[in-house]
Chain A
Amino acid sequence: MDNLIGQGRAAIDLIIDPETFQEGEVGALRITDEDFGASAVIGTAGLNGESCTVIASDAMTSNPKFPVVYAGIIGLEEGYKMALAVYHTLLVDADRPLAEKRPILLIVDTPGNGAGKQEEIFGMNKATGAYQMALAEARKAGHPIVAMVVGRAISGGFLCHGLQADHVLSLSPQFETMIHVMPITSIARITKLDIEWLQALAKDNPVFAAGPDYFYKLGGVEEMVDSIESLRERIIAHVEAVRAAKIAGKWDALGPWGRGHLSAERGGRLVRGKVIETMNEEFAAVAERYLS
């Protein structure tokens, strides 16, 4: 297998315990209408012997009701369907201790959110926002959430389905994985900057260039995985690491805030920390005036 682009379902089978996937079922949730959010796949599988919620995109199936939803795009229905899977995960483990909260596995291969007139009229921003808030709630409730980029993780699509995870992993670029906001050609067109100059700058500057390596440097990806065969083992290892960190109370080392720390360690986003420190110091000096 050269790569996994467009093969979300195949990626699920490579990762989970063999023949354990119950599609459309999470806790009490049963999705039986095949057309509902057809480009999103949700369900429950075994992962290393425990129940795990799986959320992926299906690039082969377009949504018959919403013409802009194809090739793994997350549309209105898909965003809410993914959110339903997360909320039902929260419900089914509501009474379990941290050590027993089931993991949520996000298999990431999406070119973005639905971009259409109907989507804007009804508010695509709500659908993608709803899914992110659900993931953040589940992460803070103790579910280990691991995102595995196996194909495309583009801009708002990656924010929606990936960047709210505790840990983000990516297959290395030899598998044609793509992580970016926009290709450099589009950035050049919109910023009116010279494309060749931008490409030359991109070699040493991870902040605007496209590719998983640059996100790794910026702390946006915890680990690069360099073979398809090791996906399963690496994901299981990260689920365990995340779970242990939560039990140890190291919440700030996980999720988007944890990736901020990681960025500084890797020399990526160096001013971020200074900004936060400055604000905290300046606020401490005036806090009494506001908080008494």
Chain B
Amino acid sequence: MSRQWENLQSRSFLESRARKRALGLVDPGSFTELAGPRDRLTSPHLPVLGEAVEFDDGIVTGVGLISKRPIFLASQEGFFIGGAVGEVHGAKLANIIRLARESFDRMLDADPHLPEDKRPAVVISFDTGGVRLHEANAGLLAHAEVMDQFQDCKGKVPIIALIGGRVGCFGGMGFVAAAADAIIMSQFGRLGLTGPEVIEEELGKEEFDASDRALVYRTTGGRHKYIMGDCNALVDDSIAAFRTALKEILSKTYNEIAAMGCIGSLSKVETQLKWVDLCAKLSPKDAKDVWRYAGNEAPDDLVDMPLDLYLKSVKRLTDRCKENQDG
């Protein structure tokens, strides 16, 4: 087990399947899958449409440990119908969060002074386009249940989002991730609401060409989201790098982690409204217009430079905001 776990660490997060990510993110040998493939809780709706099912319905859910801390983990499988959320998938995601919060309540009931580093945390590896159209109505309702469970965790259980898979994190799951306390991305991760094809459909190909991969990445990719302050950490594409960043965030107090999120309170909404004013003022034709505004004089260079160099030289919009406040 331990050797297998060691081997997982150097693996590309992008190329790994959901279960490998789950196993590698928590401590060696600590992961117990809940409602796993042996339970064969498959979608009842896909066979009606003549589609193949998976025994885990495209999501791995379970519990593991990171440095003795209970981690309630969900890992979406982008290779199965684009990680899309149907009835079973959605119920697994909502309920793993609920289990974390119920465990928190039980543990704190038993010991109100339980140290923070022993308390439950939720970790979600997103790899999804949102609602699964084959069971669209059930998938939509499941999204609302996940947001509801997120809110129940407020003040109790930190929720950390990881985004570095092939599909990225779009549709309804885009706002679910935004509601997490902290977001870790790789440069291959993408985060948004409306997928590139739909934007092209809405605005026309001259405004937004969905086949232009560079354009797609600088609009929703990890390097852009890092500049915007919409992801808290930008890491290398390996399971180990995600795990290291995760451990670093989990070493903070709940209040410190909750402060990292972009939304979830009146003052955060007021801060976001300043960015919306900036958006109206800049009317950016391209994400690079915002990079330049944030103080990056040669935005083109940021696209391809090695990640460590990027992290050293990039100016973030959030930093500029701080400078303005200080000055």
Contacts and interface: CB of A to CB of B under 8 A. Distances in A.
Interface of A: 65-66, 68, 76-77, 80, 83-84, 87-88, 91, 113, 115-130, 132-134, 136-137, 140, 155-156, 158-160, 163-164, 180-182, 187, 190-191, 193, 198, 201, 205-209, 214-215, 218-220, 255-257, 259-260, 263, 268-272, 274-276, 278-280, 282-283, 286-287, 289-291
A27 to B, nearest CB: 11
B228 A123 contact: yes
B137 interface: yes
Contacts of B194: 113, 115-116, 119-120, 124
B135 A208 contact: yes
12 contacts: A115-B199, A117-B207, A121-B228, A207-B45, A207-B138, A215-B137, A215-B141, A220-B140, A269-B141, A272-B91, A275-B91, A279-B95
User: Nearest 7 pairs between A and B by C-beta?
Assistant: A129-B175, A136-B151, A125-B174, A181-B136, A163-B144, A130-B263, A256-B144
A251 to B, nearest CB: 10
B262 interface: yes
Chain B interface category by residue count: 35 or more
B26 to A, nearest CB: 11
B246 interface: no
A113 B193 contact: yes
A44 to B, nearest CB: 17
B40 to A, nearest CB: 10
Contact of B272 (A80, A209, A220): A80
Contacts of A134: 269
B224 interface: yes
Interface stretch (B2-10, B234-242, B279-287, B305-313): B279-287
A87 B63 CA distance: 34
B136 A182 contact: yes
Interface string B248-276: 00000000000000111110110011011
Interface in B99-130: 99, 103, 106-107, 120, 130
Nearest to A209: B137
A220 B228 CA distance: 35
A271 B88 contact: yes
B133 A187 contact: yes
Contacts of B192: 120, 123-125
A257 B290 contact: no
B314 interface: no
Given A180-B136, A279-B92, A257 B150 contact: no
Instruction: Give chain B's interface secondary structure class.
Output: helix
Contacts of B207: 117
Contacts of A87: 265-266, 269
Interface of B: 32, 34-35, 39, 41, 43-45, 48-50, 61, 63, 65, 70, 87-88, 90-92, 95-96, 98-99, 103, 106-107, 120, 130-131, 133-145, 147-148, 150-152, 154, 171-172, 174-179, 191-194, 198-199, 202-203, 207-208, 219-220, 224, 228, 230, 262-266, 268-269, 272-273, 275-276, 278-280, 283-284, 287, 290
A164 B179 CA distance: 14
A286 B32 contact: yes
A157 B163 CA distance: 24
Contacts of B174: 125, 129
A65 B199 contact: no
Query: Which of A116, A129, A134, A220 has most B Cβ within 10 Å?
Result: A129
B136 A159 contact: no
A137 to B, nearest CB: 6
Contacts of B230: 123, 126
Contacts of B266: 84, 87-88, 91
A164 B144 contact: yes
A24 to B, nearest CB: 15
B153 to A, nearest CB: 11
A132 B135 contact: no
Contacts of B91: 271-272, 275-276
